[in-house]
Structure 1
Amino acid sequence: MEQDKDGANARAAIYTRISKDLTLEGLGVTRQLEDCLALAERKGWSVLDEKFEDNDISAAGGKKREGYNRLKAVMEAGEVDVVVVYAADRLHRNSRELEDWIDLASETGINIYSATNGFIDLSNPDGRTMARVVTAFAAGEVEKTKMRLIRKHLELAEAGAWPGQACYGYTADAEIVPEEAAVITEMAARVLHGEGLNAIAKDFTARGIPTARGAAWRAASIRNILKSPRIAGLRVHRGKVSAKGQWAGIISEETSAMLRARFAPGRSDGIRGGARKHLLTGLLVCSKCGTGMVKCINGRTKKESYRCPKNEGSAACGGTTIVSAETEAWLAEAAFQFQDARVVGQTEATSEWLEQTGALDARLEEIASDYALGSISRSEWQAARAAVERAKSALPVPIIRPRNLTTGAMLRVAWDGMATSVRRAILDDIFVKVVVMPRRQVTGPKSFDAGRIVPEWRQ
């Protein structure tokens, strides 16, 4: 039986909520509000001006609901006599929250009126039982909906369906954006070439290339784009590649695999480095003390040179100097000639890396399957997985040349137009180090002597 507090002229608070992502009911808060207002009018209640609304917020997911919390505060303050909702499950969909509401309703004498469920009297056992049944049923429906959505997402992932959101390089309909695709292709080549992310970001910003949001480029932005399998036409589900996508890739699957390996946890590969100022700093090594040489201006000739630094308290001897321009030119030409001799070997190295990583990935799948079938314990699975992951991390990711820089002749043509960091990455890929020997001519004017340069070549 309705209490006097709920009679004509009672103060009514209307609460509306929709969680469209979970229920897919299509009942907007406007529709709910109309039905609640109609009920209040039939009862002769005076509706509070303030509307208590939570749009697109689930009552089951633990998200903060501003409208719901304001409604409770109004009830506690005694500013309302009755609460009107479209359906009882609009207020709560879990038993914990319901019990708190029952306590509040008992303390304040405020009950719930539903446009679809009718009067729910929380002051007696039958009313509370009804509220609990409605809530339990609603919670069950939420769980069923979640399971349907999880299954649907899995089916879409296994079918390689486009995820649906626009991202850099693609529209929301999976169409390639040509200008952005060209940027992705360039940044992928430069990273695999060995260039630092910060240097690439600075270059893109200086060239006026816009990001997806029109902001300045950052290393993290480039990293997030390149580590996504989506740009290679691959569908990801729960962090793993699940299928070949139904859309065109911007880069090849092999290139994507190498990029993801570069960005794997535990790897640095110098890819975050900023723009390099001096080409040979650290690559040139003093033969006398083994210290990396640095760029300087020669005190007597005023020519740019590389020297062994003489710093107080360090092991550097400061006894070796060599002119920079001629040394840089000589090493560049040596690199061009070396590159011509190893083009085939580079392709073989890339193929071998892909084969090795593929075998290790297959091993991870086998280990996971053994654990799922109960063949091994959780601790055994964790230990085996860690061992395989360490083996993957130990595989050096090949530094590959873009197609237009395959041969030494191509490198020679493009060399002067490259950023210093790009040229250094090429040299690091060819030389382990370059030892600079002492001057053989100790008197007379200093001149460049290529015989002083002793490279240690990479295999």
Structure 2
Amino acid sequence: MVVSVDATPQRAVLLVRISDDKAEDAAGVGRQEADGRKLGDRLGWGIAEVLVENDTSAFKRRKIKLPDGTTALRTVRPKFRTALDKLSSGERDGLLAYDLDRIARDPRDLEDLIDVVESHDPRIPVQSVTGSLRLSNDADVTMARVMVAVANKASRDTRRRVARKHVELAAEGKWNGGGFRGYGFTRKGMEIIQEEAKVIRDIAAWVLDGRSLNWIKDVLNRLKVPTVTGKPWNARSVRSVVTKPSVAGLRAHRGEIVGPGQWEAILDRATWEAVCATLAGRVRNVDLTLKRWLTGVLHCSQCHREISGAQGNGGPRYWCSTPHGGCGKIAVNAAKAEAEVERQVLDLITRPRILERLDHISRSEVTDDARRELVDDEAQLKELAGMWARKEMTLGEYREARKIIEDRVKGSRALINASAPRALRRLLAGDVRANWAALSAADKRDIVLTLVPEGYEVLPHDRSRGNPFQPERLRPEHVTSAA
């Protein structure tokens, strides 16, 4: 898109950012937006979009994976990247901000903005309320680079001083007072909030009584016990509030306990250590292998969601779980449902005609070709990412090429998964029934979905017939042509 030299942006983007919003009211970015809109009116710019980076640092970097597969330290700012993409594509024709340091405190981010601004002729207009951000000529660019370098050093100096102060506070057993308020304590002075302290003690008792974190969070949510942030409890937040050293009156720094804190404990140390040991033991003993192999195969006939394995009062079952967004109206005994589906599957695959057809599918040259094409396309994606990283192509060219290849990859994977799951050949090699019994739960599920791609719909239980298991409740959605 070519813009005349005298053109005034009418589709500009206003980017506002605040690095720390402890009050969580976004007032800082709100003031920046108001001032930015006034500047736009004064300049005659049309603002088409406001991008908000609330509680987002332009200095702190995280380790991320780059498109070429390597890792590097980068600032994580999705809205800033969105602004660059829209300016680069021509969707937006100008950039407004409050100040240069609202746009960049990392020289790499500034260089990316400069690249986008200078890629158009004439340059994309950039303005700020304070006048510190201008990139209309080489002198402006040089000044921006100097100012970002100074801002970056100031941030590094601040980080170093804060880190040193935290070490001193930790050594003295004092609380640093930063971040969110810790559950059970006031933000300042670390005074105990008795209502929350009782919740922590209850959680500790439940853990030591063998209750699961999910059971505990369900109880807390049902009782409408508030969290610090106001969000519902989850297993992670339950674990966090009861295992933090602060609840035992201990001061920690960088994950290490450095000594007693200068505040009262909510849990005595022996209880806290017992809770931590109990939860750590549960993590070590967790078996993450799939147990209920009809998970992803069964669907609720009422709300059409997937039904997953769950532990009920009568033992293992498949349930349309309400905590996972289901209706809660459909449940079926796990062992009996698995036995019935296994019976149907073995009945199908032991028929000579179906065995012959499945054997042909498992050895099909079509899937072999799809596998070879998949390997080639995945290699090409890596090569493409490298070309973009080396700036051998534009972002638009990279995205267009990547979409074409990714569509081919999806097609190849769908063909491979639909035609021949990896366990199919092992199943057909010899005694089918014996091989089925030796399959893992995940492999059994893959075989079922090869024969019944849409899975099974679970119908409601007919109460007029009593409690016995009703096999007809499991209705196959669609049986593959091989069957």
Query: What's the TM-score bracket when you normalise by the shorter of the two chains?
Result: 0.3 to 0.5
| Structure ranking higher on relative contact order (CA contacts 8 Å, 6+ apart) | 1
Q: TM-score, normalised by structure 1?
A: 0.46
Q: TM-score with structure 2 length normalisation?
A: 0.44
Task: State which structure, 1 or 2, has the greater radius of gyration over its C-alpha atoms.
Answer: 1
